[in-house]
Chain A
Amino acid sequence: MTLTRSIQYPNPEPEVQTRKPGRATAMRLIVPLQGVVQGRGGLIFGSLIPCALFYFLQLYLKRHRSSNSRSNPPSPSTSSPNLAEITRTSSRSNLLSRGLIGPVRISSRAMSIAKPNDSPYYIGLDKASEDPYDRISNPDGVIQLGLLENRLCFDLIAKWMSENLSDSMMGREGGDLSISGITTYQPVDGTMELKLAMAGFMSRVMGGTVSFEPSQMVLTAGATPAIETLCFCLADHGNAFLVPTPYYPGVCSFDRDVKWRTGVELIPVHCRSTDNFILSITALDQAFNQTRKRGTKIRGILLSNPANPVGNLLSREMLYNLLDFAREKNIHIISDEIFAGTMYGNEEFVSMAEVLDSENFDKNRVHIVYGLSKDLSLPGFRVGMIYSFNENVLAAARKLTRFSSISALTQRLVVSMLLDTRFIEEYIETNKKRVQNMRDLFVAGLKTLGIRCADSSAGFCCWADMSKLIPTYSEKGELELWDKLLNVAKINVTPGSACHCIEPGWFRCCFTTLAQEDIPVVMERIRKVADTSTLCS
């Protein structure tokens, strides 16, 4: 299909904003007014001044644009164009997304992601990384209790690495594993060696009561893409998942993993402290019906077990109830079991896989997410997995995982580590003890301050009830306390509202990035704030 030579090459199109001058000017008039209507602050402050500024800016830009040259040839490290820095009202983003003026347009999906992170979770993380606490060199710094990382057993991993690294990578132990085995294209859903090793590891950490089939695994670069890929497979844009609250916030949170690119909605199902934040089928049913009434299709339930942030477990009976509920509504269940290996205390973890093994449930609706970021403290290596009983889901996921495959180099290293059973045993046992110890000390410390924690059996954090300390029993009050804790006490904790908790005053405190000696420091700082809080309330 080629054009004949007689067709003239069209004249260069004029810059779009000069195409319909009347209309464009009218639009520019409306936009600042829109900003007034939507903006915060007083009418005068919010209207005249921004309007005027906006007008002058547009005049200035138009003059420069019409001379057909950018005033700032962007040297690679300059910040974003002036337009983006002036004001942060939604009118600005409407301007850019309409593509009628100036800068080349990016998609609406991208626009929503481009917004600056203003949630407490990110603000806290930033503050903590700008001014990090160090017992010796920066004792007044911000103590990080908001990052779900486990540093308690790093010495064990570092030791293993220094003893085994080069051999494990070159594969000199097994003659078959030369370097050429890992540089070439690999199966996108992970090597069989790693799947087998993961099956063994998962079985071990989950108590040895269930076994996993390598053929039902699709490996991904971390649990984050595992969750997103499952959502792409199970739901269409505009569908929804039910998620018990509180659920995990943060850099790679359910909000991001599920919603961003898939367009799938999350419907919170609120859990109560009176139930120790365990999900109730009644609440699930209510949420299901309400959502269906407003015309949104529910495709499944998304839960984490052990739960993040509360750290509690779902009982075998609850798992049966969930499976019954899913069958009744004909929906899926995604069970994120990434903390299964960080159990402490005496309770037993029961995986969805175990329940399915033993009973006659429809397996096609159950999918498990797992990874090594928490249980083996290797988040940087990006090792995650989808474990499903549904052949169609596996077939689709296998193809989708090419967008997030694990580096073969890392697969080789992890296989070697997982196959070192002596090391794995030592790691699991030691980790359990240290996490439990740290947790007990932390919870006891909070107790002396009159702060109780929810019952928990796993994970890196405790879910603390500071509702007595908040000025008003509301989200606003909770955020005020959070702000005080961050800026006065200089500890970064995650407020419950960031986790979508319906009861104000709960905070997630991660204790696995601390050393034992730091606990009294944390408690002392909280005490100071607690004292002033109770005085004021």
Chain B
Amino acid sequence: MAIEIEQPSVGLSKVAVSETHGEDSPYFAGWKAYDENPYHESSNQSGVIQMGLAENQVSFDLLEKYLEEHSEGSSWGKGAPGFRENALFQDYHGLKSFRQAMANFMEQIRGGRAKFDPDRIVLTAGATAANELLTFILADPGDALLVPTPYYPGFDRDLRWRTGVKIVPIHCDSSNNFQVTPQALEAAYQCAESMNFKVRGVLITNPSNPLGATIQRSVLEEILDFATRKNIHLVSDEIYCGSTFSSSEFISVAEILQTRDYKNSERVHIVYSLSKDLGLPGFRVGTIYSYNDKVVTTARRMSSFTLISSQTQHLLACMLSNKEFTEKYIKTNRERLSKRYDMIIKGLKNAGIECLKGNAGLFCWMNLSPLLEEPTREAELTLWKIILNEVRLNISPGSSCHCSEPGWFRVCFANMSEQTLEVALERIHKFMEQRKRK
């Protein structure tokens, strides 16, 4: 008879067992509830409607049409002569044609108001990887990045988990529509210093997630000046720039640098991706655009851990070079998002709910603070659970975005059909009516 001897179990690393991945937060917990009981227009009308996923499906038909008319087979040519080289191509510089197409697309989205050099583009498998990579390059373990609140919950994981870098929040509040102020910047910097963290940079999202609003020119200039004074970096995550409802309202930090003749630009880095603007998150396409040569070089080398499939690069190079398609797509996408936004704002207003005035993004920032029992995080989470379980809507509580004012929620509207959005609005309306009666 074999004797059972207790074997010491083999250990794992601190990274593996840490909770820094943040996947236990309500932000992700709601997704689980959705997965277990997903709403479906015909087959599951009482299911949970997913309003916590910032995905853009409003212009999917345009993509589908393009891909059907320009099948990949034809883009390789007869007998697929270019294919050989493509399948072998694993150079971290990325396909030149793709980088060129990305640079052009980025210029187009900004209305031609900023120029982009394809040789400054570093490709990564998604913006998630781009943000992490930049953090590895700009900061050492134990250093800090300043990030305005509220911010995308994924940053806790993407910027901190493997890098060992800290996030120190720049607190913003509703008194000025959550805009960053010089005082808030300075306070965050001092806070980091008092905790003995070396601040290495400021990371902003413009247009903002979860606010759904662009950053004003004067604020951008203040942030840039702040970074220059402190001799730190500025990372501008602009992945929602194509989702600005009106093209003229988005101001990229690239434009500001251009007007300043690129003075002090070597501290600025832009993150972009096709996941939101082009609705292609599955393709894993992200970029770092840096004005700093050393950062470009090191980011390129480090990107070997997160290369974009050469096949995908090739397909997208063709697609993004098709000016007719991109112009139509960008314009139509903006119009449809704007229409959706109007629809949801109106619907919420009818239900007696106010939102932050937004002009971009795939979501709106809803104010439910009047409904809270008390102005605390716990009360917000209680309300969130009620909305999840009773109203059966998965929305993201502001506390998961580190918002310092309780009661705000992010509500996504672009990842569903108009009919589904109607259903969601009806449910909210009913819920608010019931509350009023109580």
Where the two chains meet, the residues of A that have a C-beta atom closer than 8 Å to any C-beta of B are 1-3, 7, 9-10, 12-13, 15-16, 69-70, 73-81, 84, 99, 103-110, 113-114, 149, 151, 154, 157-158, 161-162, 165-166, 169-170, 178-180, 182-186, 221-222, 224-225, 228, 232-237, 239, 251-252, 256-257, 260-261, 299, 327, 330-332, 362, 364-365, 373, 377-382, 390, 392-393, 396, 399-400, 402-410, 413
Contact = CB atoms under 8 A, between A and B. Distances in A.
B87 A157 contact: yes
B356 interface: no
A392 B16 contact: yes
B173 to A, nearest CB: 7
A107 B138 contact: yes
B325 interface: no
A70 B282 contact: no
Interface in B150-187: 157-158, 161-162, 171, 173, 182-184, 186-187
Contact of A74 (B79, B89, B266, B284): B266
B295 interface: yes
B237 interface: no
A183 B71 contact: no
A373 B125 CA distance: 17
Given A74-B266, A413-B311, A404 B125 contact: yes
B14 A69 contact: no
Contact of B132 (A104, A170, A403): A403
A409 B309 contact: yes
B125 A158 contact: no
Interface in B263-291: 263-267, 279-285, 291
B137 interface: yes
A73 B263 CA distance: 5
Given A183-B60, A261-B162, A408-B282, A380 B263 contact: no
Interface stretch (B61-69, B206-214, B375-383, B420-428): B61-69
A179 B67 contact: yes
B137 A162 contact: no
Contacts of A332: 10
B129 A403 contact: yes
A16 B231 CA distance: 8
Contacts of B13: 232-236, 239, 299
Nearest 8 Cβ contacts at the A-B interface = A380-B310, A408-B282, A76-B117, A166-B71, A166-B73, A396-B16, A410-B309, A165-B73
Interface in B396-411: 404
Contacts of A299: 11, 13
Interface residues of B, number: 106
Contacts of B73: 162, 165-166
Contact of A110 (B7, B17, B298): B298
A162 B132 contact: no
A169 B9 CA distance: 44
23 contacts: A1-B171, A2-B187, A3-B183, A13-B230, A73-B265, A74-B291, A79-B293, A81-B266, A106-B138, A106-B295, A110-B137, A113-B298, A170-B68, A261-B162, A299-B11, A379-B89, A390-B10, A396-B12, A396-B15, A402-B128, A403-B162, A409-B282, A410-B309
Contacts of B355: none
B83 A161 contact: yes
B293 A362 contact: no
Of the listed residues A225, A332, A377, the one surrounded by the most CB atoms of chain B closer than 10 A to its CB is A225
B102 to A, nearest CB: 14
Contacts of B233: 104
A76 to B, nearest CB: 4
A371 to B, nearest CB: 11
A11 to B, nearest CB: 9
Given A73-B263, A185-B281, A408-B282, A382 B307 contact: yes
Interface in B355-395: none
Nearest to A372: B87
Contacts of B76: 161-162, 165
Contacts of A12: 229
